[in-house]
A and B are shown apart, each in its own frame.
Chain A
């Protein structure tokens, strides 16, 4: 499984592109980090890859997953998972039902699906918390639940948007290890946006800086 990006750039309406055209190859199980100044469009880059660009933004270039062109697919057909810093668990569902929402359709039958969710909760150190209100979880628990929800959908690639920036230093290291271990185990390519050099270091993967395009260059 690889994620290949060629000549990708994004612009808002008729404004100049946010960043210089980007070429990127992320190998299976590898985490590539994207850094760059605020406002350059790091999150927008992830939106473009995942297919979540807001009205007004257009992209050029291509996104390929394992050699398959996904640029023109809607986000729900791309199988590219998404993680935000605030976890974005659905507040009206229990922790377990959040995971059940993510769990791939291939696992059928009430009992089997319930068991899969319980197993994922256990893996994330959340055993027995199926019925809990996500608002009552700690920051680290929330982040782990959100990661499990994403992984249960069986994604072919993962996008991480400052996933650990809301966590304190101790939790951050633990969560990082947890996330990267899962990425390696599943051998999926991941792209992470972050401000924290320590995050980048911990990936052991390549680091990429987004830059604006020089006028005339």
Chain B
């Protein structure tokens, strides 16, 4: 009775709620924020000459001089900016145009289902698949061969091109679906249909209404995810290794080479470069804010002129056409992984192998069995950890009856906004000092830094959309806070919980740099192996690893979809994606 009265009356937050919040806050601060800051600090120290582990103990600018003297650094920086800014800008334009073109013609759920495979697929698998399709002996060249009269694979540089085109395409395959999903969810908070009707009744074409009225409302809701995309695109390692230019490569790849060079003296310029990578991302954020400011002024000037303009419809058609092409290329890449893993003889210019074989799959003992086991173990451990922390955080907010502060929201995004390479090396230095590096626990923890934000973001909206009447009714029946959580909230939120878990698994499986650095190269996962193999000539084995790497998140997503369907088969109120979906 006391609990019931308390829950309904809404007096001061209960002390258990406060305690829970404190525990969660400490866990996030100590487990996520501090390590990132400490990692940045250690990296910066090494960048300015202090790395006691290799006997460097004097503060100096020598690492920066060494970095500046590296051949190709200027080109490398230009490439990094070109691919990073280019991919982000293109992804944004394509996603916005496609959103405008399909909105109202396709339900959010159908769209979400279409996008899921692209969101689930790890970056490295997408990159390897694209490399298979784009390469001079890939499907595109084979399809063109009869027309172009090629009797052997053409001598063209299509993958690892010096302009970073293949890398930009690879990033688009991952980033456009991500931004589309983010935009669709932002649009659900805006009265789109009504505003479009008003705009058109005032004489503006559909496309112009999107640009002048809808997108300015969407932007504040997607700014943070766009910054995540920007930071990622500027500092991506695995995709850049597989698809990007190789000599010189982008900055992040160049740094990885330096960090893993046999000469430990190179660790100093590598650290300086990692700092530079961080500065590059920070400057890009600044640029984004400047563009936002400028865009606002120009937009307002344009809007006040009242021009009804030409129809923007052809532009929308063009962007959705390009988006479809990008996604088809990505899907073909996924298919190519499977086909190559099963191919035996596949001669030019046949579209399919002449003979098939399971040989590449037949020897799990030699490698992929172990890598799969590590990957599954890491995925479940990190996701479990992240999910527990996220539920504790959200439940703490509920019990304290508090909305999330803006700084807390920013804290959640922090690990996604700082380039991995800028703090992971420094973190590893710390781990080595405490003799923690190279173990499973270290890798679980490093991966959880990136899994937690995504799980938290995925779970927050559905959690808040839960009908508050349900826990209130439970409280009125005498259920205490823990029983309300276990017996009411979590079962009702099963679908979003599983979706968040699937996202967590996909993020964990995709981690390359944290696994490599914190595992000290000793913990082989599907991703680290696939990236290593991607430069080898045996496409069959590479295909096996990349297929498994992509297949694991797909399987988990399928389970996340099926389990609620089965569990709730007699509960119509819980079908259809659950609250907030």
Contacts and interface: CB of A to CB of B under 8 A. Distances in A.
A72 interface: no
5 contacts: A52-B200, A74-B206, A93-B303, A103-B306, A107-B306
A113 B308 contact: no
In the A-B complex, list the 6 residue pairs whose CB atoms are closest, starting with the nearest: A82-B201, A75-B200, A153-B202, A52-B197, A100-B304, A76-B200
B215 to A, nearest CB: 10
B195 to A, nearest CB: 6
A113 B303 contact: no
Interface residues of B, number: 27
Interface of A: 47, 50-52, 54-55, 74-82, 84, 86, 88, 90-93, 97, 100-105, 107, 110, 113-114, 149-150, 153, 155, 159
Contacts, number: 86
A90 B195 contact: yes
A47 to B, nearest CB: 8
Contacts of A88: 191, 194-195, 198
A111 to B, nearest CB: 11
Contact of A82 (B104, B193, B198, B212): B198
B204 A76 contact: yes
Nearest to A106: B306
B197 to A, nearest CB: 4
A113 B304 CA distance: 8
A102 B306 CA distance: 7
Nearest to B304: A100
B305 interface: yes
B200 A90 contact: no
A110 B304 contact: yes
Contacts of A91: 217
B297 to A, nearest CB: 13
Contact of B202 (A74, A97, A101, A113): A101
Nearest to A52: B197
B202 A92 contact: no
Contacts of B198: 82, 84, 88, 90
A135 to B, nearest CB: 13
B308 A50 contact: no
A93 B105 CA distance: 27
A159 to B, nearest CB: 8
Contact of A76 (B191, B203, B212, B217): B203
B307 interface: yes
B216 to A, nearest CB: 5
Nearest to B212: A101
A105 B306 contact: yes
A75 B306 contact: no
B201 A50 contact: yes
B306 A100 contact: yes
Nearest to A89: B198
Contact of A92 (B197, B199, B217, B306): B217
A110 B307 CA distance: 12
A86 B105 CA distance: 25
Contact of B193 (A54, A86, A104, A149): A54
B557 to A, nearest CB: 28
Given A76-B201, A82-B198, A97-B304, 17 more contacts: A51-B200, A74-B205, A75-B200, A75-B201, A76-B203, A82-B197, A84-B198, A88-B195, A91-B217, A92-B216, A101-B199, A101-B213, A105-B305, A107-B306, A110-B304, A153-B201, A155-B201
B194 to A, nearest CB: 5
Nearest to A51: B200
Given A74-B205, A75-B200, A82-B197, A90 B217 contact: yes
Contacts of A92: 216-217
